[in-house]
């Protein structure tokens, strides 16, 4: 079979075609394109399209063509220009332009990486058709002039309708791509959750299975000790499942009842209830009230205090205050601190820093993700702020309306 010379095929295509780089520089043109634009390829190749064809004084055609080419480069989709006036400068007569009308189709040419490598600009001049409409004859000049004007108006109207349809189609394609990207991100997140959950459940399950096998195979084993260890593994499994269910409810925006809660009093109660190993310094502004679920806020505070106690060297500072219409709780420990690069990661489920695994191998890595989700479910937020030493957690919640 004879191999095709694709360069020769491109050159012989009867429609005027040019290949433009992402910078809109001419890379190739065929003979039909040379003919329709009345410029030899030597004056085109290596030059930017708008340098060769600056357009007429109004600049309208330039704006429309540039917008079309930029859409193709940005979106990777074909863009149709059904009718555009784009005046062409008379060769050898700088500043003198001829009125020209065109239809154009701009198509992306994708590279191996899927990105737009260049744009194929196919053009057809329709100036003669427009001129024929304008000079349809003199026998009935007024009547024909009216018909020509009506035809021109109809033609431009249909062109505008087609352009609007193109715009709607582009918006629909953009929404489709965004929805697809969101679905893929959700799938990746779900797959990661499944992988993380499997990893975190495997250890207590393995421990439980091993202990029971030992109890069955060794009649001399201390059954009380084995059962106690098995119970700990089962409790750990229960904690993980409970935390995962709570996260699922929070992330699913499951409705929950709220009440007016004295945040200052709640913090004081949770501090008194917490069995903290470190000394605690407290600065609580009294009477700060929020609209919230007291049970969930108590869990949030418990998670923050437990986390601070786990990482502190000797001291935890707790501060409650109000600024404008926002309530704030700061929990600061004097531990090693968290690098800025990891401050968001600690709010990802099952994420545990190496030092945290060493200090508390039984932790689940779900406490801080749950705390942040509780804050956001109450239209607030939880983040880690800059601190000279240690870690500074700041909880923000909207105050209850007066």
Q: Identify any residues that bridge with 123 across adjacent strands, giving them in sequence order.
A: 16, 104
Residue 1 has a pLDDT of 54
Residue 109 has a pLDDT of 93
> Which residue in the block uniquely carries the two structure tokens 């702020």?
385
Residue 370 has a pLDDT of 85
Which tokens belong to 1? Answer: 């079979």
DSSP 298-347: HHHHHHHHHHHHHH-SSEEEEEEEEETTEEEEEEEE-SS---GGGTTGGG
Alpha carbons 129 and 100: distance in angstroms, whole number:
11
Residue 167 has a pLDDT of 72
pTM of the predicted model over 0.75: no
Quick one: DSSP state of residue 41?
A: G
Quick one: DSSP state of residue 358?
A: H
Those residues whose C-beta lies under 8 Å from the C-beta of residue 19, and which sit 6 or more positions away, are 26, 27, 28, 29, 109, 118, 119, 120, 121
Which parts of the chain sit beneath pLDDT 50?
Answer: 138-140
Alpha carbons 159 and 171: distance in angstroms, whole number:
18
On the CB side of 230, how many CA atoms lie within 13 Å of its CA?
A: 14
Which tens digits make up the pLDDT trace of 61-102?
Answer: 888 899 999 999 998 888 888 888 888 887 777 778 888 888
CATH superfamily of 6-134: PAS domain (3.30.450.20)
The closest alpha carbon to 384, from 341, 323, 327, 355, belongs to 341
Residue 55 has a pLDDT of 82
Residue 165 has a pLDDT of 74
Residue 133 has a pLDDT of 67
H/E element, 109: strand 101-110
Residue 139 has a pLDDT of 44
Class of domain 138-254: mainly alpha
Residue 46, Cβ neighbours under 10 Å: how many?
A: 11
Fold for 259-398, please state it. Answer: Heat Shock Protein 90 (3.30.565)
Tell me the domain boundaries of the chain. 6-134, 138-254, 259-398
The closest alpha carbon to 203, from 161, 250, 237, belongs to 237
Which tens digits make up the pLDDT trace of 176-186?
Answer: 888 888 778 76
**Which phi and psi (to 5°) does residue 291 adopt?**
-100, 110
Which tens digits make up the pLDDT trace of 202-255?
Answer: 666 777 777 777 777 777 767 677 777 777 777 777 766 777 777 767 766 667
Q: Identify any residues that bridge with 394 across adjacent strands, giving them in sequence order.
A: 330, 383
């Amino acid at each position: 079979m004879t191999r095709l010379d694709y360069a020769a095929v491109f050159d012989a295509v009867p429609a005027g075609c040019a290949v433009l780089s992402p910078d809109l520089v001419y890379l190739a043109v065929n003979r039909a394109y040379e003919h329709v634009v009345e410029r030899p390829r030597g004056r085109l190749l290596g030059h930017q399209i708008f340098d060769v064809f600056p357009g007429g004084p109004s600049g309208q055609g330039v704006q429309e063509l540039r917008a079309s080419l930029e859409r193709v480069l940005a979106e990777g989709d074909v863009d149709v220009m059904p009718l555009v006036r784009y005046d062409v400068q008379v060769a050898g007569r700088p500043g003198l332009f001829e009125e020209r009308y065109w239809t154009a189709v701009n198509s992306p040419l994708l590279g191996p990486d899927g990105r737009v490598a260049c744009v194929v600009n196919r053009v057809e001049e329709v100036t003669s058709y427009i001129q024929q409409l304008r000079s349809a004859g003199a026998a009935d000049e007024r009547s024909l002039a009216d018909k020509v004007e009506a035809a021109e108006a109809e033609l431009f109207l249909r062109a505008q309708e087609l352009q609007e349809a193109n715009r709607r189609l582009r918006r629909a394609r953009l929404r489709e791509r965004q929805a697809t990207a969101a679905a893929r991100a959700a799938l990746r997140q779900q797959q990661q959750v499944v992988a993380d959950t499997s990893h975190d459940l495997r250890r207590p399950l393995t421990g439980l299975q091993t202990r029971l096998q030992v109890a069955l195979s060794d009649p001399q084993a201390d059954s009380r000790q084995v059962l106690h260890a098995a119970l700990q593994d089962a409790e750990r499994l229960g904690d993980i499942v409970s935390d995962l269910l709570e996260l699922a409810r929070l992330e699913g925006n499951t409705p929950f009842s709220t009440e007016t809660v004295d945040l200052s009093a709640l913090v004081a109660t949770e501090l008194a209830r917490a069995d903290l190993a470190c000394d605690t310094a407290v600065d609580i502004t009294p009477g700060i009230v929020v609209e919230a679920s007291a049970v969930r806020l108590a869990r949030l505070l418990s998670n923050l205090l437990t986390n601070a106690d786990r990482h502190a060297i000797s001291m935890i500072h707790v501060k409650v205050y109000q600024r404008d219409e926002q309530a704030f709780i700061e929990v600061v420990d004097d531990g090693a601190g968290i690098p800025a690069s990891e401050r968001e990661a600690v709010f990802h489920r099952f994420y545990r820093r190496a030092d945290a695994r060493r200090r508390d191998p039984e932790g689940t890595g779900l406490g801080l993700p749950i705390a942040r989700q509780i804050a956001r479910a109450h239209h607030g937020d939880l983040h880690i702020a800059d601190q000279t030493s240690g870690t500074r957690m700041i909880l923000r919640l909207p105050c209850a309306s007066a």
